[in-house]
Amino acid sequence: MVLCRITSIVWPLLLFHGFTHSWGPFDRQPTGQPQEGALRLVGSEQLSAGRVEVYHSGQWGTVCDDGWARSHAQVVCRQLGFPGAISATVGGTYGEGSGPIWLDDVACTGSESSLSSCHFKGWGVTDCSHKEDAGVVCESGESADSSQKFSLDHSLSLSDTLGILFDSRSSCDFNITVHDSSDEPTEELVICVHKLILSLYPQLNVTETLTNLSVEISHRCHPQVSSFVRYLYTRKIDVTTSSAQCIHQLAYIFKFKELLEEVGRVFSLILPQDGTFQTQVSLYEYGVRTEDLQLQENVLQYLSWNFEQLAVSPAWKSMSTHMMEALLSRSDLVVRDEAYLLLKLEDWIIDKGDAISPERSLGFLSQIRFPMMSVEKLYDIQFTSNLYKSNEAFFQEALLKGFEFNSLPFSTTKPHFNDTDTYLPRIYTAALWSTVINYTSTSNYNYNYNYYNNDRSQVFQTPVHTSVIFNEKTINWQAQVFLYSAECSNQGFICPTLPTARLRTYNNQYYPPYPNTVHYNNLLILTCKNENVVFHVQDFKDEKAVIPSNSSMFLPNPCPDDYTFTFVVRPEYQ
Ligand SMILES: *[C@@H]1O[C@H](CO)[C@@H](O)[C@H](O)[C@H]1NC(C)=O
Ligand SMILES: *[C@@H]1O[C@H](CO)[C@@H](O)[C@H](O)[C@H]1NC(C)=O
Ligand SMILES: *[C@@H]1O[C@H](CO)[C@@H](O)[C@H](O)[C@H]1NC(C)=O
Ligand SMILES: *[C@@H]1O[C@H](CO)[C@@H](O)[C@H](O)[C@H]1NC(C)=O
Ligand SMILES: *[C@@H]1O[C@H](CO)[C@@H](O)[C@H](O)[C@H]1NC(C)=O
Ligand SMILES: *[C@@H]1O[C@H](CO)[C@@H](O)[C@H](O)[C@H]1NC(C)=O
């Protein structure tokens, strides 16, 4: 496996299960300096009232009362974490402060989250004296509801403290012994930990009498064991693409489901980096061994989206039967047409030779969606297929199904659609059903989108449906990519994000609407232009497809400035 090439990406996984972050009037930084713009109330017996002082440039200073009003008190009380404001006080009600007068002529609307985000003259710019120091009276919360709870949450620093405890090994009372899983005798690694911490995890079965725990894992992963054990203390771990597999294995061994899933997602990063597809295929097999469904799904989806590349890669022939089965069942295979899939499947079956029984190969062939082929391709099968002769009965029945679907009205064939997937399209990219727009983030503003072909707008035609019945009927489509919000508003809508892709049909008197038995399940394929890697497939809602951002994909968009949009029209009967 080519897992150790890339080490530059570090994913800090912060898994604080069960800890919440709550507000409280005493929720301050646990240590060190106050933050810039911090507030305090001074000169009152009550915690919830006093002269307002603001921290700036390393120094506490006061606020002048010019224009000071209840809206200011609301901001101050909110910033300090009190439930509300009772009044704003002026004229040094809570005594005169000393030091700088930091704020003057403060203008708040009342909705600001901090006093220093209100408008004011400038730090220390003032014509006031300390006689005019402003103050507030906040609702303490106690009189209104004496049972109110204040949560003091310093759990983040607890994590760090526990990390220090682990690093120090101080008074550790339990050994984790790490052995090499292969037979080669290597030095074993002993990590001393605190039994109390391990007992927090029921799945480790740490009983009273136990003094040690032993782990078997490949020698290659020994350096990762310590950071994994540290995770048991801190719930934090940095995962690189090179350490991901070891961490994943440890999470599997110790049954840490959440960590397993998160690391599984990091694996997806590795996927586009091996053009031979050997990495992806062995990752899938690894996912099967570790029963990691998420990892299996991630890999399968990637392979489905990049199916054509996979089918011509060295990994194709070595693909296992269960993996082929999983792939053939998917509707998100991106492939030029179903006939190409049949061709590639036949190559694979022939290459496997006696390793696959005749019954098994019929099982694979029956996953081909013959009704989704054009009549011309169906007709060609008898001449082009290398398995036709040896499976004539099967093919004749399958071809018949295909021809029936193509030549009979939907109302006739529908009652026989018992294995529905056979009648559902995959993602066919043949020219008849798709169009391409090359995206560059530097394109100029496009003021004319109306039915003209240009770099970000394509008009094209498809048949209404794949069935021969609709051969004569065409439908007109317009594919567009919007880069500027003004381009969207010119077209009468608001782009949710940019870029936005749109695929719509337009009908007028010359283009009658399609029949109501047909609906379109169109998709947008995003490909990195230079690497030819499909990294996302998106559906259209209201004719528009949102291009995923870094955050919504979890993974960084691999080619944000340079990708290709393939718009795929997918008619289905309904
Ligand atoms: C842990 O192992 C070390 C030797 O590596 C040993 O000295 C120590 O006593 C062991 N601790 C426990 C709790 O078994
Ligand atoms: C803990 O015990 C349960 C049953 O008692 C067992 O299924 C599980 O494998 C044990 N876990 C470990 C890590 O040994
Ligand atoms: C590990 O613990 C078992 C009993 O729980 C004990 O018999 C064994 O000697 C311990 N091994 C080491 C290396 O301490
Ligand atoms: C679907 O129909 C075919 C005949 O058209 C039949 O052989 C098959 O058993 C049916 N499958 C199911 C799941 O009903
Ligand atoms: C998009 O770019 C690719 C190569 O970068 C080129 O082969 C293709 O013709 C372009 N398509 C369009 C519609 O401009
Ligand atoms: C998305 O991620 C890529 C690669 O990590 C980065 O170059 C790009 O700036 C990011 N875009 C945004 C909007 O954060």
Residue 24: pLDDT band by 50, 70, 90 thresholds?
very low
- pLDDT at 198 (0 to 100): 93
Residue nearest to atom 2 of ligand 2 (CA): 205
Ligand 1 neighbour 190 (Cβ under 6 A): yes
> Highest mean pLDDT range out of 154-158, 177-181, 360-364, 560-564?
360-364
Check if the beta carbon of residue 101 is closer than 8 Å to that of residue 120. no
Average pLDDT over residues 536-550: 83
Residue of 170, 176, 190 with the most ligand 1 atoms within 8 Å of its CB, for mutation: 190
Query: What is the pLDDT of the chain when averaged over all its residues?
Result: 83
Average pLDDT over residues 349-356: 93
- Would you say the CB of residue 529 lies under 6 angstroms from ligand 5? yes
Contact 135, 94 (CB under 8 A): yes
pLDDT at 130 over 80: yes
Indicate which ligand has the atom closest to the C-alpha of 422: 4
**What digits encode the pLDDT tens for the residues 459-503?**
899 998 999 988 888 888 999 998 888 888 888 888 878 888 999
Q: What pLDDT score was predicted for residue 494?
A: 87
Measured in angstroms, how far is the CA atom of residue 256 from the centroid of ligand 2? 13
With beta carbons less than 8 A apart as the criterion, state whether 80 and 138 touch. Answer: yes
Residue-level pLDDT at 150: 62
Encode pLDDT of 187-237 as tens digits: 789 999 999 999 999 989 888 888 889 998 888 889 899 999 999 999 999
- Closest to 57 in 3D by CA, of 29, 36, 41: 36
Closest ligand to Cα 457: 5
Whether residue 388 has pLDDT greater than 70: yes
User: In the structure, what pLDDT confidence band is assigned to residue 305 with cuts at 50, 70 and 90?
Assistant: very high
What is the amino acid identity at position 51? R
What was the pLDDT predicted at 265? 74
Count of other CB atoms within 10 angstroms of residue 509: 5
Residue nearest to atom 14 of ligand 6 (CA): 550
Instruction: Quote the pLDDT of residue 384.
Output: 94
**Confidence (pLDDT) at 111:** 82
How many A from CA of 127 to the centre of ligand 6?
47
Mutate to test the pocket of ligand 1, among 175, 179, 187, 196 (most ligand atoms within 8 A of CB): 175
The residue-averaged pLDDT of 519-544 equals 88
Residue from 173, 209, 212 to probe ligand 3 pocket by mutation (most atoms less than 8 Å from CB):
212
Give the residue among 425, 459, 454, 452 at the shortest CA–CA distance from 438: 454
Count Cα atoms within 13 angstroms, Cβ side, for 317.
6
Residues with CB under 6 A from ligand 3: 210-212
528 touches ligand 5 (CB under 6 Å): no
Average pLDDT over residues 364-373: 96
pLDDT of residue 149: 59
Contact 106, 115 (CB under 8 A): yes
Ligand 4 contact via 400 beta carbon (within 6 Å): no
DSSP state string for 194-233: -HHHHTT-GGG---TT--EEEEEE-GGGHHHHHHHHHHHH
Ligand 1 centroid to residue 242 C-alpha, Å: 31
pLDDT at 75: 92
What was the pLDDT predicted at 20? 28
For ligand 3, pick from 178, 191, 211, 215 the residue to mutate: most ligand atoms within 8 Å of CB.
211
Other beta carbons less than 10 A from residue 171's beta carbon: 8
Span from the CA of 295 to the centroid of ligand 2 (angstroms): 24
End-to-end C-alpha distance for the chain, whole angstroms? 45
pLDDT, tens digit, 9 for 90 and up, residues 26-66: 333 334 578 889 999 999 888 889 999 999 988 999 999 98
Atom of ligand 4 nearest to the CA of 418: 1
pLDDT digits (tens, 9 = 90+) for 69-89: 888 999 999 898 888 888 899
Q: Whose CA is nearest to atom 1 of ligand 1?
A: 175
